[in-house]
Amino acid sequence: MKVKGRITEVKGTVVKASNVSGVQMNEMVKVGETGLIGEVVRVEGDSAYVQVYEFTTGLKPGEPVEGLGSPLSVTLAPGIVGNIYDGLQRPLSTIEGYTISRGYTAEAIDVNKSWHFVPVVKPGIKVQGGEKIGYVEETELIRHYIMIPPNVIGNLTYVAPEGDYKVTDQIAEVQGSEKQSISMLQRWSVRVPRPIKRRLVASEPLITGQRVIDAFFPLAKGGSAAVPGGFGTGKTVLLHQMASWANSRIVVYVGCGERGNEMVELLKTFPKLNDPISGKPIMQKSIMIANTSNMPVAAREASVYVGLTLAEYYRDMGYDSLMLADSTSRWAEALREISGRLEEIPAEEGYPSYLASRIASFYERAGYVETLSGDFGSVSIIGAVSPPGGDFTEPVTTHTLRYVKAFWLLDPNLAYSRHYPAVNWISSYSSYVESLSDWWSLNISDEFETLRRRALDILFKEESLRNIVRLLGPEVLPEDEKLLLEAANMLREGFLKQSAYHEVDRYTPPLVQYYLLKLIISFYEKAKEKLTGGATVEEIKASPLYLEVIRARFNVKSKENFEAIMKKVMEF
Amino acid sequence: MSGSITFSSVQSIRGSLMVIKTNGKLGYEELVEIELGNGEKRLGRSLQVSEDIAVVEVFEGTQGLSPRDVKVRFLGKPLELPVSNELLGRIFDGLGRPIDNMPEPVGSEELDINGKILNPYKREYPDEFIQTGVSVIDGMLSMVRGQKLPIFSGSGLPHDTLAAQIARQATIAKGEEFAVVFAAVGVPADTAMFFRRELEQSGALKRSVLFLNLAEDPAVERIVTPRVALTAAEYLAFEEGYHVLAILTDMTNYGEALREISMMREEVPSRRGYPGYLYTDLATIFERSGRISGRKGSLTQLPILSMPADDITHPIPDLTAYITEGQIVLGKELYHKGIYPPVNVLMSLSRLMKDGVGEGKTRADHKELSDQLYNSYSKAMDVRSLAEIVGEEGIPESSKKYLQFADAFEKKFMKQDPYENRDIDTTLNLAWEILSILPESEWTNISEKSKKVYMNVVQKRNI
Ligand SMILES: Nc1ncnc2c1ncn2[C@@H]1O[C@H](COP(=O)(O)OP(=O)(O)OP(=O)(O)O)[C@@H](O)[C@H]1O
Ligand SMILES: [Mg+2]
């Protein structure tokens, strides 16, 4: 039964409709003569408030409003990977002309395309939601498993033989309380997390190739992290780097209320960058969602859920998904704007009182899990946070920091001096360090944890020495402390700094991260010996080896490279 | 103007807002024409519509309006600008009506001033270097065609001189000059005159369109002026194939007008009284720039805004920098030292520089040099502030070079005449020259290759 009513008020992108009794919260509706899409956000008697996903210019009281009977849902089927969507999963590549017209509709995937389906089960067995019945090769990197939709259970009475099918063709049939036809296409409501069997504790790192993160403030597969930072401190570049290099099977990048050109940059670079593990273009494991800052805010609010649901769907196949959202602040602002138009009572800085719980349930969808089919998969979430005025005490930042398990605080002073990534190593945090340290000692070197601690120790000591230097100048320090400052400088220049644009520097595999730390710490140890032997810090700095160790991040690619420099250090 | 003709009456007036009876006939963001008893006509636009009434903002203000003797006519469409290449060489008011005593230009079409959303998929990544002839910009804050790069300034600083110098000198490739779209948003008449004269003297006026909302003009109109100007700019860039440079000044006045209306509507404020949607609203202005794949033209934005109380964390500069592709920040301290252009390089940033410079675009050593200048200048600033505290004796011998470097950077590299146009080679060679003040052990960003190829250029020159 479809509900039909009329517009009574238009206020920005929020529309009030009357005569719509029977309409449900979060139901999708069509608004006005042009059929703009919106979502019910409040029901009051036989009236409802609708947030419209498009600009409402020209909309008039009296125009029709029609309920569509279902909440905002995404299409889940082969053909998603490699696409760029808007916040409602409409593909941006199929639009004619260079602007987006209102009321534009399109299928998320090409429904006419045939896929080569290979069954993995035979009829006659009992199946339930999540079970894999076959697969298609979606891209060279993604084997797309076709799963029984979550709430279906019964006897499998039919499975299509291996062959080419369209996503809407029947490929299986399940006899439960009623007969259900299964195709390769499912739909899922974006605001409802997809079900899992159980949550597990993550113990494997999500390797990002970004040194300050992997080595000092790591993220586990299935973990959640936030990157708060003022404008221009490097959030987007860091997120792009992670999308490019992280060892996840799927990357969902949500550009939420940010620049159009940043999405173009991804579109331009992803086909050219190769996945460090498989060597295939990372476009083949990426999904992009672009709701740029000039697009209507309601769709911006929805876009992060669309992204999350896609990430969960691939997790359910037993993959590690990584979902990046730039910027969650814009999503929170969309909440605020809609809340304001609904005249809800504001809490801090105009944000609605449910801001904290929305942020919590957003990051709650991250996790390392056992899937319904008994596989292991994960969704890791990384969200950028853009505090107004760079003020980390504002509501979105403070609530986010309560719910994420790692955060990389970007420091404007580091950014001003072009120390990128501008991750502050004193105030950033990761709760995953301990659970991941076994991985490093088993897979990289059992010396790694010691080196890591040494390095952090040097950096912390530097911090307290710097306070003295700031007041009295470095000349008052004894030589060994001057040397410590130099060691800290080497760590900054030679390890913490990492250029996103240098061919070698932009991605450092874990083993090379270990090499670089080893070089710097060994150089420091040697230099200490020299100091006791009577050398001065100025003399040590003047040695060409000093610059060579610092610049190792641009040059060391292999064990041979490392050993060549290490030899010089040992002979120093 | 055409459109449906429905008359209505006014219920109440508050500030520049008016509540009118509509019987549901007025659409959201549609125009109304308000006729006063004396025949004067003003324009308004609906901000909220319901079955019987609507809230309308009156662009020319509500002074002298009385609910009883005005007639309101619904125009049945949003605010539009007639566009064609006849716009070039013309001067308009802040709503897009000619004020140069020439007839209304013939438009080939009328475009909604809100523009349409550019499909990000159809954008072309901006990566074509614009040589502005200003060393500190070309060397360290390189602009590319289609970028939006604002100047953040303060009162008494030479932002207008710098913007005019860029407009005058900016060349892309030979024979491809910019068409300039200039929008004055609440600035004094002499600022508008200054730009007009500059454009005239450089012969660019015939390739320019001016939209003027001056300080004495109604504040509400300022909401519209940047949008009218960008509608013209988008049309010239993407339909007529011009490379357009849009100068919008002063966007702080725009933000204040937005706040004024928001307050009159009693909306819940966020920071410092500005509405929560300030970011989104500014984005609908600044995102109207770039390049489109398969189209010849480009739209580069150079907005100017003054930072209230020189505070970069004020919502207007803050949110602007969150949207634009970098910012050029001017500083009082440098200006008082007699340095033009007084660019605070550490606070400034050009995000699109990386793809616009380097081999085949400017020079292979450009990126490294620029990184090194930032790195060294920032160290030099630390040394300088330390020297101020502990005196020059308190700093190590090796650091003293940094003080020299900082001076040379400001007085040799950054400082130049508003009429001096340096090509990129001159700029980069100058960079090597000042860098040579520092010992090579400090050149952490410079590769051996660049040292070999480009250092001798400088050394040869010095001999
Ligand atoms: N790792 C890096 N290597 C080199 N340059 C970097 C790096 N990180 C950041 N940058 C520089 O900093 C600039 C700003 O970074 P970015 O766009 O990521 O900032 P942001 O925090 O996302 O800002 P906003 O909130 O305004 O979007 C980049 O354009 C680039 O020049
Ligand atoms: Mg960003």
Chain B residues 283-312 within an 8 A CB cutoff of chain A: 283-284, 287-288, 290, 292-293, 295
Which tens digit of pLDDT belongs to each residue from B12-65?
Answer: 998 889 999 988 889 999 999 999 888 899 999 999 999 999 999 999 888 888
Distant-in-sequence, close-in-space partners of A477: CB < 8 Å, separation ≥ 6: A465, A468, A469, A485
Residues B184 and B328 in one domain: yes
What ipTM does the predicted assembly reach? 0.94
Domain map (residue ranges) of chain A: 4-71, 110-184, 198-430, 448-570
Dist. CA A424 → ligand 1 center (Å): 15
Q: b or e along A484-505 (b: 16 or more beta carbons within 10 Å of the residue's beta carbon)?
A: bbbbbbbbbbbbbbbbbebeeb
- The span from the CA of A343 to the CA of A514, in Å, is 55
Number of H helices and E strands in chain B, helices first, is 13, 22
User: What average pLDDT does this structure show over B357-373?
Assistant: 94
Q: Is residue B3 over pLDDT 60?
A: no
Residue B463: the pLDDT is 44
A408 lines ligand 1 (CB under 6 A): no
> B125 — contact with chain A (CB < 8 Å)?
yes
Closest Cα in chain A, distance from residue B200 (Å): 33
- The span from the CA of B142 to the CA of B133, in Å, is 10
Query: Amino acid letter at B122?
Result: K
Which tens digit of pLDDT belongs to each residue from A254-289?
Answer: 999 999 999 999 999 998 999 888 889 999 999 999
Rounded to 10 deg, the angle between the A510-532 and A559-571 helix axes is 10
Dist. CA B349 → ligand 1 center (Å): 9
Q: Of B24, B323, B354, which is closest to A293 when you measure between CB atoms? A: B323
Which tens digit of pLDDT belongs to each residue from B251-307?
Answer: 999 999 999 999 988 888 888 999 999 999 999 999 999 999 999 999 999 999 999
Q: Do A261 and B126 touch (CB under 8 A)?
A: yes
Which tens digit of pLDDT belongs to each residue from A6-46?
Answer: 999 999 899 999 998 889 999 999 999 999 999 999 999 99
- The span from the CA of A157 to the CA of A545, in Å, is 72
User: What average pLDDT does this structure show over B413-418?
Assistant: 96
Split into its structural domains, chain B has a count of 3
Residues B95 and B186 in one domain: yes
How far CA B9 is from CA of A482, B81, B363, in Å, comes to 80, 27, 66
Residues B257 and B282 in one domain: yes
Decide: B164 and B192 in contact? Cβ < 8 Å: no
Residue A364: the pLDDT is 96
How many other CB atoms are there within 10 angstroms of residue A209's CB atom?
Answer: 21
Residue A103: the pLDDT is 81
Cα torsion at A241, A244, A250, A256 (round to 10°)?
Answer: 50
Position B38 in a domain: yes
Q: Which helix (H) or strand (E) holds A501?
A: none
- The span from the CA of A202 to the CA of B160, in Å, is 56
Residues B319 and B401 in one domain: no
Q: Is residue B451 over pLDDT 70?
A: yes
Q: Of B29, B121, B295, which is closest to A93 when you measure between CB atoms? A: B121
Question: Which CATH topology does A4-71 take?
Answer: Elongation Factor Tu (Ef-tu); domain 3 (2.40.30)
User: Which one of A293, A303, A330, A495 makes the best mutation probe of the B interface by having the most chain B beta carbons within 10 Å?
Assistant: A293
Closest Cα in chain B, distance from residue A132 (Å): 34
Q: Do B283 and A349 touch (CB under 8 A)?
A: no
Closest Cα in chain A, distance from residue B43 (Å): 17
- The span from the CA of A536 to the CA of A482, in Å, is 10
Tokens of A293: 């800052």
**Could you say which of B332, B356, B380 is where a domain stops?**
B356
- The span from the CA of A508 to the CA of A255, in Å, is 25
Identify the domain containing residue B374 by its residue range: 366-460
Tokens of A514: 């270990």
Q: Do B270 and A349 touch (CB under 8 A)?
A: yes
Tokens of A528: 């200490």
Tokens of B39: 């025949």
Decide: A156 and A123 in contact? Cβ < 8 Å: yes
- The span from the CA of A142 to the CA of A319, in Å, is 9
- The span from the CA of A340 to the CA of A13, in Å, is 11
Q: Do B321 and A493 touch (CB under 8 A)?
A: no
Residue A564: the pLDDT is 95
Which tens digit of pLDDT belongs to each residue from B41-53?
Answer: 999 999 999 999 9
Residues B250 and B375 in one domain: no
Across chain B, what does the average pLDDT equal?
A: 91
A236 lines ligand 1 (CB under 6 A): yes
Among the CATH numbers 3.50.50.60, 1.10.3470.10, 3.40.190.10, 2.40.50.100, which is that of A110-184?
2.40.50.100
Q: Do A259 and B325 touch (CB under 8 A)?
A: yes
Position B93 in a domain: yes
End-to-end alpha-carbon separation of chain A, Å? 82
**Could you say which of B321, B356, B391 is where a domain stops?**
B356
Residue with tokens 């010089």: A568
Position B218 in a domain: yes
Query: Amino acid letter at B371?
Result: D
Residues B42 and B152 in one domain: no
Q: Do A231 and B394 touch (CB under 8 A)?
A: no
Decide: A182 and A173 in contact? Cβ < 8 Å: yes
Identify which of A272, A225, A247 has the alpha carbon closest to the alpha carbon of residue A508. A247
Question: Which chain B residues are closer than 8 Å to A290 by Cβ?
Answer: 120-121
Concatenated DSSP letters for B373-401? HHHHHHHHHHHHHHHHHH-GGGS-HHHHH
Query: Amino acid letter at A233?
Result: T
Residues B387 and B335 in one domain: no
**Could you say which of B356, B384, B399 is where a domain stops?**
B356
Residues B165 and B312 in one domain: yes
Return the ligand number nearest the Cα of A385. 1
Dist. CA A230 → ligand 2 center (Å): 9
Residues B58 and B100 in one domain: no
Residue B335: the pLDDT is 96
Q: How confident is the model at residue B461 (pLDDT cuts 50, 70, 90)?
A: low
Read off the DSSP letter of residue B189. H
Strand partners, B407: none
Question: Which chain A residues are closer than 8 Å to B125 by Cβ?
Answer: 261, 264-265, 268
Residue B2: the pLDDT is 43
CATH number attached to the domain at A448-570: 1.10.1140.10
* B69 vs B285, higher pLDDT: B285
Ligand 1 atom with the smallest distance to the CA of A239 is 18
User: What average pLDDT does this structure show over A63-90?
Assistant: 94
Answer whether 0.80 is exceeded by the pTM.
yes
Q: Is residue B455 over pLDDT 80?
A: no
Q: Of A16, A59, A84, which is closest to B121 when you measure between CB atoms? A: A84
Q: What is the CATH number of the domain that holds B345?
A: 3.40.50.12240
Q: Do A267 and B390 touch (CB under 8 A)?
A: no
Position B361 in a domain: no
Identify which of A342, A66, A259 has the alpha carbon closest to the alpha carbon of residue B286. A259
Residues B378 and B340 in one domain: no
Residues B246 and B385 in one domain: no
Residues B343 and B383 in one domain: no
Which tens digit of pLDDT belongs to each residue from A299-330?
Answer: 999 999 999 999 999 999 999 999 999 999 99
Which tens digit of pLDDT belongs to each residue from A188-238?
Answer: 999 999 999 999 998 899 999 999 999 999 999 999 999 999 999 999 999
Residue B15: the pLDDT is 87
Question: Which chain B residues are closer than 8 Å to A58 by Cβ?
Answer: 27-30, 77-78
For a pLDDT cut of 90, what percent of chain A falls above it?
87
B449 exposure class (CB count in 10 Å sphere: 0-12, 13-18, 19+): exposed
User: What average pLDDT does this structure show over A100-111?
Assistant: 88
Which tens digit of pLDDT belongs to each residue from B192-214?
Answer: 999 999 988 888 889 999 999 99
A522 φψ region: left (φ > 0), alpha (ψ -120 to 50), beta (else): alpha
Among the CATH numbers 3.30.470.20, 3.30.460.10, 3.40.50.300, 3.30.565.10, which is that of A198-430?
3.40.50.300
Q: Is residue A526 over pLDDT 90?
A: yes
Residue A152: the pLDDT is 93
**CA nearest B140 in A: which residue?**
A418
- The span from the CA of A222 to the CA of A203, in Å, is 9
Ligand 1 atom with the smallest distance to the CA of B352 is 29
Residue B1: the pLDDT is 40
How far CA A375 is from CA of A204, A369, B418, in Å, comes to 16, 8, 67
Position B347 in a domain: yes
